[in-house]
A = this chain, B = another copy of it.
Amino acid sequence: MIISVPHNDGVDGLAQLIRIDRSSPVPLYYQVAQRMQELIESAQLPPGSRLDNEIALADQLGLSRPTMRQAIGHLVDKGLLVRKRGVGTQVAQRRVSRQVELTSLYDDLDRARRRPRTEVLAFEVIPGPPAAIAALHLPTGSEVLHIERLRYAEDEPLAVLRNYLPAGLAEIDRQALAERGLYQVLRDSGIQMRIADQTIGARKASAAEARLLGEVRGAPLLTMSRTAYDPAGHAVEYGDHVYRASHYSFELTLLSR
């Protein structure tokens, strides 16, 4: 009788599914990581399947072991792979839903094909309100660009977005804001965002908010205030947003360690 090897869902020909272009400027480890992520997300590498050991994989792909390890480590950090010393490397059991990243609401809606639309309610340079000044770590009395927008999804009002940016940070066009998300506009201006602090809470809608959002007064709203920083740690944006709780919720993935 033939005993089937337990848990052996191994993929022998992983190397055949990955092509490496050594003339590309894209780093080798990144090419491998990206390709492996595609394979995992397309279920060609199903959850639970075991990879060959690092040395064999590196050998098959014509890479060194550190490079292969770097690729695998990248995916382990993302939670797509699980490594166990003395055992091996497996594809993690579940598909990871995309992490809530430093994206704007607009990008999220756009990806979800929810037909985002934006109405710019205010767009002006003003002396910074104390809350914005404090969040952006600016000297008292500094001027800020104040933006207020009403965001729709599928022609239904969804959120009121108030944002404050240091005046003169970037060339921002009011028209661009009506067509794209703030974060996309910032990125197009060369502003990078690396870290953000968020606070998520809830409260009742004021009369004005209820009117804008098509809710009754006192309806529960989800609130999110966020300060975003560039790679050097300088604050570039402070936002104070309210969402219709009946139409919106935040989804996020936490990684431990």
Copies in the complex: 2
Q: Which of A31-39, A54-62, A121-129, A230-238 lines the interface with chain B? A: A230-238
Q: State which residues 47-67 of A face B: CB under 8 Å.
A: 47, 66
Q: Which of B93, B200, B201, B235 contacts A232 (CB 8 A)?
A: B93
Query: Is A204 engaged at the interface, CB distance under 8 Å to the other chain?
Result: yes
On chain B, the residues within 8 Å of A203 by CB distance are 220, 245-246
Q: Which of B101, B195, B202 contacts A253 (CB 8 A)?
A: B195
Query: Is A193 engaged at the interface, CB distance under 8 Å to the other chain?
Result: yes
Query: With contacts A231-B82, A256-B101 known, is A222 near B195, CB below 8 A?
Result: no
Interchain CB contact under 8 A, B195 and A96: yes
Q: Which of B94, B195, B223 contacts A254 (CB 8 A)?
A: B195
- A218→B245 CA distance, assembly (Å): 13
Interchain CB contact under 8 A, B199 and A220: no
Q: Which of B201, B221, B229, B256 contacts A94 (CB 8 A)?
A: B229
Interchain CB contact under 8 A, A200 and B96: no
Besides A66-B66, A198-B253, A200-B200, 19 new A-B residue pairs in contact (Cβ under 8 A), listed by A number: A82-B232, A92-B195, A92-B233, A93-B229, A94-B195, A96-B195, A101-B256, A194-B256, A195-B254, A195-B255, A198-B252, A199-B251, A201-B248, A202-B222, A202-B245, A202-B249, A203-B246, A220-B220, A223-B249
